[in-house]
Amino acid sequence: MSRSYRYFALLILVVCWSASGFPASVVQESKISPYMLFSYLKNSDSQQVLQVKMTNITQTGEVPLPGLTIRFLNGENLLGEATTDVTGSASYTIGSTVALYVAEDGTWPFTATFDGDTLVDATFSDLSITDVNLEMTLGEEEGKRSITLTATMPADDGVIPVAGDEVGVYVPRMFSLLPVATGVLDETGTVQLEFPNDIPGDSLGNITVIGRFNEHYLYGNVEKRENREWGTPVIKAPPVYRSLWSTLAPKWMVVTLAILLLGVWSQYMLVIINLIRIRMDGLKNEKK
């Protein structure tokens, strides 16, 4: 057996061995490693809401993961469960009668956990929340609009002011909250902020004013909301009618142009078809 033949046979064996083991590593798809965003909200009605968003981070962006069952715990106590919707979001509202477990540092320990399934890996996230109360007062004097925010937290001997923390005023927008003013609470737990006069509202000027601790590392999200006519009325643009001077041309003009273009392109197609026929007839005559 020649040396070149032996080399060729060895190459065939290596290729066959690689091909036999290759599909096992490719066909077996790895599970999705989810990203869990866990947050706490104390809304304007003083309801405590635990919120989760489950996504799969890919090269093209975040993809929501619906249909996943999330368990919410306080310490080791199960509070309840919720299933993620089409946006990958799930929330659980803690009942007002629930006595929450308090850790040694005085915070509420919360955990959101997903146990995993055949497609998605298990994951969890923790939060430690300090309870805080936020009050908002709106006022208007001499054309100036002011917002007074006061923050306190419960203590053994009553309530104490929250001092030195940043708090803000927001208005809702389509996908997020727009900050319009921020300030730092003084030693009495109070800050007064001015509301701008150029924030667009609805057609009547109505707008939702939100005082909020936004993603605070101790308090989470705590907010108060109130509707006021403090926005600039948004005037809807009149409907556009079809005319020669508008962006929408009259229908008769669109139809006429379509007919003319159809006629031109039909002539092009007719010329191409005739050229092909002439070429085919020429080939037939050459064979004769």
198 forms beta bridges with none
What's the rounded mean pLDDT across residues 209-215? 96
Q: Say how far apart CA 217 and CA 36 lie, in whole Å.
A: 17
Task: Tell me which amino acid residue 191 is.
Answer: V
**Cβ–Cβ under 8 Å, residues 40 and 49:** yes
Does the pLDDT at position 276 exceed 80?
Answer: yes
Q: Say how far apart CA 148 and CA 195 lie, in whole Å.
A: 10
Say what the pLDDT of residue 232 is.
85
For residue 268, give Cα distances in angstroms to 29, 214, 271, 279, 281: 52, 65, 5, 17, 20
Q: Say how far apart CA 288 and CA 161 lie, in whole Å.
A: 107
Across the chain, what does the average pLDDT equal? 86
pLDDT in tens, 53-66: 999 998 888 999 99
Task: Provide the percentage of residues in the chain whose pLDDT is more than 90.
Answer: 59
Residue 56's φ and ψ, nearest 5 degrees, are: -110, 115
Say what the pLDDT of residue 254 is.
83
Q: Say how far apart CA 67 and CA 61 lie, in whole Å.
A: 20
Say what the pLDDT of residue 176 is.
86
Alpha carbons within 13 angstroms on the beta-carbon side of residue 234 total 8
Residue 217's φ and ψ, nearest 5 degrees, are: -70, -20
Highest mean pLDDT among 132-136, 155-159, 233-237: 132-136
Q: Say how far apart CA 247 and CA 71 lie, in whole Å.
A: 54
Say what the pLDDT of residue 190 is.
97
- Structural domains in the chain, CATH included, are 35-129 (2.60.40.10), 133-228 (2.60.40.10)
Q: Which of 114, 119, 129, 118 is nearest to 35 (CA)?
A: 114
Say what the pLDDT of residue 246 is.
62
Say what the pLDDT of residue 22 is.
42
pLDDT in tens, 245-270: 666 777 888 888 899 999 899 988 98
pLDDT tier at 10 (50, 70, 90 boundaries)?
very low
Distance linking the first and last C-alpha atoms of the chain? 57
Does the pLDDT at position 287 exceed 90?
Answer: no
Q: Say how far apart CA 33 and CA 115 lie, in whole Å.
A: 12
**Cβ–Cβ under 8 Å, residues 254 and 246:** no
Does the pLDDT at position 17 exceed 80?
Answer: no
Q: Say how far apart CA 54 and CA 68 lie, in whole Å.
A: 8
* Burial readout 143-172 (b: 16 or more C-beta within 10 A, e: otherwise): eebebebbbbbeeeeeeeebeebebbbbbe
Global model pTM greater than 0.95: no
Q: Which of 137, 138, 130 is nearest to 162 (CA)?
A: 130
Say what the pLDDT of residue 120 is.
95
